[in-house]
Structure 1
Amino acid sequence: MLESEAYYCPYCGEPGEALLDLSGGDQSYIEDCAVCCRPIQFELRTDGAEWELDIRAEND
């Protein structure tokens, strides 16, 4: 089950969109911003139906 979530880069403020795979359970991963290339940390918590996504700078 895939969901998408809009977000803003915690460094430069540019908008982005994360594609979330809820079937994989809780996940933590890092992706670079497409504009400023700085690392963004994503933390997904899900039970497969309900979910919450936290997005922050790498050192926050």
Structure 2
Amino acid sequence: MQTTSDYSCAFCGEMNTTFVDISAGFEQSYIEDCQVCCRPNILYVRVDEDTFDIEIDSDYEE
């Protein structure tokens, strides 16, 4: 099951939308470039097992 969620870029602070594949697990991390400044963000995705609410934290990719 795939859905979208928003996160704030760790570099420029702009909001981005990303696809989240819930079937990949309830805790995921991957790298995605910001749609505004094009810098890479490490996304830490957590999905609530009961409600399927998604929380995303972003960090700098060195």
Partner of 1:53: 55
SS in 2 for 1:16: strand
Task: Classify 1:20/1:2 alpha carbon distance in 2 versus 1 (closer, same or farther; 3 Å).
Answer: same
| Percent of residue pairs bearing the same amino acid type | 37
Partner of 1:36: 37
Whether 1:22 aligns to 2:6 is no
User: Which runs of 5 or more structure 2 residues have no equivalent in the other structure?
Assistant: none
Cα deviation for residue 2 of structure 1 reads 1.5
TM-score, normalization by structure 1: 0.69
SS in 1 for 2:23: helix
User: Which runs of 5 or more structure 1 residues have no equivalent in the other structure?
Assistant: none
Task: Classify 1:13/1:33 alpha carbon distance in 2 versus 1 (closer, same or farther; 3 Å).
Answer: same
Alpha-carbon distance between aligned partners in 2 of 1:45 and 1:15, rounded to the nearest angstrom: 18
Alpha-carbon distance between aligned partners in 2 of 1:37 and 1:12, rounded to the nearest angstrom: 10
TM-score, normalization by structure 2: 0.68
Q: How many residues align?
A: 59
Cα deviation for residue 10 of structure 1 reads 2.0
Partner of 1:11: 11
